[in-house]
């Protein structure tokens, strides 16, 4: 007996559930008891006895993904030790991912087509396949998008394995002539969105199986005269049920899915109404950058949003026009009357290569000034112009897809490389006049939030020393403009205005007495340290008084003495060492 389809109750219930009469197929729903097991029903000659094992169709006699409820029912049936060659009623009632379209409302069906239609069209256009066939497959395998695999993991077609390493372990029903129906768990692909599932299915139908790239060649538009040729080819290859093609054809016809077999768009509508703004023709593409999905605006109207659909993050769409609304909002057209906001997308023509970090100064050499761009591409010009000979710190540059180079000069501000010269590239001989002397000491950064570092040739570096930190220095440089600089590392200098010299390398322990030699009747100030930025502590030592000295320090050539009260300037003291 041919037990593969002996469960007449199960099959008949299944076909009724998906809306197909059992006599819609040339294959009988049940096999007579005297069947010798070798009966061959009439099938299209294109059907195959080689099954694609990477797909678990709900119309496979084994390996079909099922719900946890159905899995529990099969296990319970096994535990009752009853005849397991016929599926129990509670299994049939929840049979897998396409079990019951009767439980799917018209609103759910419309929502599925609104979401899946554009994805099927895009995949169909990319791989030259029938979008109607893929939609019918998706409807059948996912029960109009309501299956657990679909709602939780975006797996519309029951694809096994993993998608870029992502998968979910899911129960499947299996068949054995002795055991009947039983359970195993298999890995199914987990997709980030609907589109990846449709694209993966399209890739499979176009590129076939490993070692047999033409496995699904009978589904290609160039090899067929209609979608019916494609569904006939799928039977026996994509799913083992002998009525698989008939079921798909019935879904396509009753749901008018052939309307999706045209060129890709975000919907099947073609309404043309008044556009909300000024429209100009362009030839470009957009990539969705909005988190989740980008809303679709009918005729670029912010008050008319397509409620059931959106364009998924990361997907790309051809755009044929740009609309600037009265309030200045920019929209791009992605279908006949459908638009997305510019803030939700990235124009392909405006994409740039990754920025390169630098530390330099850009000097405007264009005598007309340099136009400021909001991003590193020629289509983002603003009304701002940087004046001739002005200098701007730049920390990175970027090159757009057309090879134009831009330097970053501030938030959302770029200038063309052709309008500037970098300070590091200019001949500068001033540094050769620096007066450099050995100067071992320690400096503390006083500038807020920090002190910028410069190289030996006076070029700014992408280095900043944090406020309050201490740094050893070994050299002091006096530039020809009179400014003082300290070297904190090889080829790194900081301006004296941004630090204080602590003088710690000049500390000398001494023992002696210092007599204050000042103006009679007056006293000298006592400071908290000998550094240049020291502070008066409020105490004065009277002229003629004598104080014990414990140490001295020399800061910038000036000697200071440490007494019990603090530090006093040596020029007001007569020191006698003991």
Q: Which residues, 6+ apart, have CB-to-CB distance to 16 below 8 Å?
A: 22
Strand partners, 442: 472
Q: What's the rounded Cα separation, in Å, for the pair 401 and 350?
A: 7
Task: Name which of 45, 237, 329 is nearest 248 in CA terms.
Answer: 237
216: which residues sit within 8 A by CB, 6+ positions away? 204, 205, 206, 208, 233, 234, 237, 238
CATH number corresponding to 504-577: 2.30.30.170
The CATH number that domain 278-350 falls under is 2.30.30
Q: Cβ-count burial of 50 within 10 angstroms (0-12 exposed, 13-18 middle, 19+ buried)?
A: exposed
Of 365, 362, 360, 413, which is closest to residue 387 (Cα–Cα)? 365
Q: What top-level class would CATH report for the domain 430-501?
A: mainly beta
Closest by Cα among 530, 563, 560, 558 to 546: 563
Please give the angle made by the CA atoms of 356, 358 and 363, to the nearest 5 degrees: 115
pLDDT of residue 27: 29
Count H helices and E strands in the chain, helices first: 9, 31
Same fold, 356-425 and 430-501: yes
173 near 56, Cβ under 8 Å?
no
CATH number of 356-425: 2.30.30
pTM score above 0.95: no
Domain ranges of the chain: 3-17+52-260, 278-350, 356-425, 430-501, 504-577
- Largest CA-CA distance found in the chain, in angstroms, rounded: 135
Q: What pLDDT is recorded for position 291? A: 86
CB contact at 8 A, 87 and 66: no
What is the block-wise mean pLDDT of the chain (578 residues), using blocks of 10 residues? 35 44 32 37 47 78 54 56 45 39 77 85 88 93 88 90 88 67 80 89 91 91 92 89 87 88 49 71 88 90 83 89 87 89 86 84 93 87 92 91 89 93 79 86 89 87 90 90 90 91 71 93 91 84 94 83 93 92
CATH number of 3-17+52-260: 1.10.530.10
The closest alpha carbon to 255, from 131, 151, 156, 157, belongs to 131
Neighbours of 291 (CB within 10 A): 8
């Amino acid at each position: 007996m041919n037990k593969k389809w002996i469960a007449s109750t199960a099959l008949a219930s299944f076909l009724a559930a998906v809306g197909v009469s059992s006599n819609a197929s040339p294959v009988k729903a049940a096999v007579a008891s005297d069947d010798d097991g070798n009966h061959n029903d009439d099938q299209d000659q294109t059907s195959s006895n080689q099954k694609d094992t990477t797909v678990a169709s709900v119309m496979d006699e084994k390996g079909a993904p099922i719900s946890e409820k159905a899995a529990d029912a099969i296990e319970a049936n096994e535990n009752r030790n009853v005849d397991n060659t016929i599926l129990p009623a509670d299994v049939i009632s929840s049979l897998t991912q396409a079990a019951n379209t009767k439980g799917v409302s018209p609103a759910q069906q419309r929502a599925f087509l609104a979401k899946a239609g554009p994805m099927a069209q895009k995949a169909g256009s990319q791989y030259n396949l029938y979008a109607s066939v893929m939609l019918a497959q998706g409807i059948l395998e996912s029960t109009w998008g309501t299956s657990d695999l679909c709602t939780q993991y975006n797996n519309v077609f029951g694809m096994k394995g993993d998608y870029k390493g992502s998968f979910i372990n899911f129960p499947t029903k299996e068949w054995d002539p002795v055991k009947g129906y039983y359970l195993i768990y298999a890995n199914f692909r987990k997709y980030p969105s609907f589109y990846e599932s449709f694209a993966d299915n399209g890739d499979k139908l176009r590129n076939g199986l490993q070692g047999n790239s033409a496995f699904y060649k009978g589904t290609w538009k160039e090899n067929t005269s209609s979608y019916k040729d494609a569904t006939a080819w799928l039977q026996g290859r994509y799913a083992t049920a002998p009525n698989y093609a008939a079921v798909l054809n019935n879904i396509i016809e009753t749901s008018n899915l052939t309307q999706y077999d045209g060129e890709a768009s975000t919907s099947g509508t073609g309404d043309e109404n008044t556009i909300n703004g000024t429209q100009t023709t362009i030839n470009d593409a957009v990539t969705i950058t909005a988190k989740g999905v980008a809303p679709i605006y009918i005729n670029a109207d912010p008050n008319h949003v397509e409620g059931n659909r959106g364009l998924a993050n990361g997907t790309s769409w051809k755009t044929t026009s740009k609309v600037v609304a009265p309030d200045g909002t920019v929209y791009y057209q992605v279908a006949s009357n459908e638009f997305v906001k510019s803030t939700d997308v990235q124009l392909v023509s405006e994409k740039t290569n990754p920025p390169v970090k630098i530390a330099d100064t850009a000097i405007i050499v264009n005598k007309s000034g340099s136009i400021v761009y909001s991003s590193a591409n020629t289509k983002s010009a603003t009304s701002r112009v940087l004046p001739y000979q002005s200098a701007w710190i730049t920390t990175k540059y970027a090159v757009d897809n057309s090879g134009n180079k831009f330097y970053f000069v501030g938030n959302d501000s770029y200038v063309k490389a052709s309008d500037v010269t970098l300070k590091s590239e200019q001949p500068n001989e001033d540094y050769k006049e620096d007066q450099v002397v050995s100067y071992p000491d320690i400096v503390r950064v006083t500038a807020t939030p920090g002190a910028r570092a410069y190289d030996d040739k006076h070029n700014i570096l992408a280095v900043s020393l944090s406020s309050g930190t201490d740094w050893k220095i070994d050299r002091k440089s006096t530039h020809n403009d009179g400014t003082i600089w300290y070297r904190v590392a090889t080829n790194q200098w900081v301006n004296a205005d941004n630090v204080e010299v602590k003088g710690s390398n000049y500390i000398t322990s001494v023992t002696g007495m210092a007599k204050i030699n000042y103006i009679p009747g007056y006293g000298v100030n006592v400071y908290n340290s000998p550094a240049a930025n020291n502070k008066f502590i409020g105490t004065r030592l009277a002229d003629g008084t004598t104080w014990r000295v414990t140490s001295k320090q020399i800061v910038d050539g000036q000697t200071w003495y440490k007494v019990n009260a603090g530090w006093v300037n040596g020029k007001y003291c007569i020191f006698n060492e003991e």
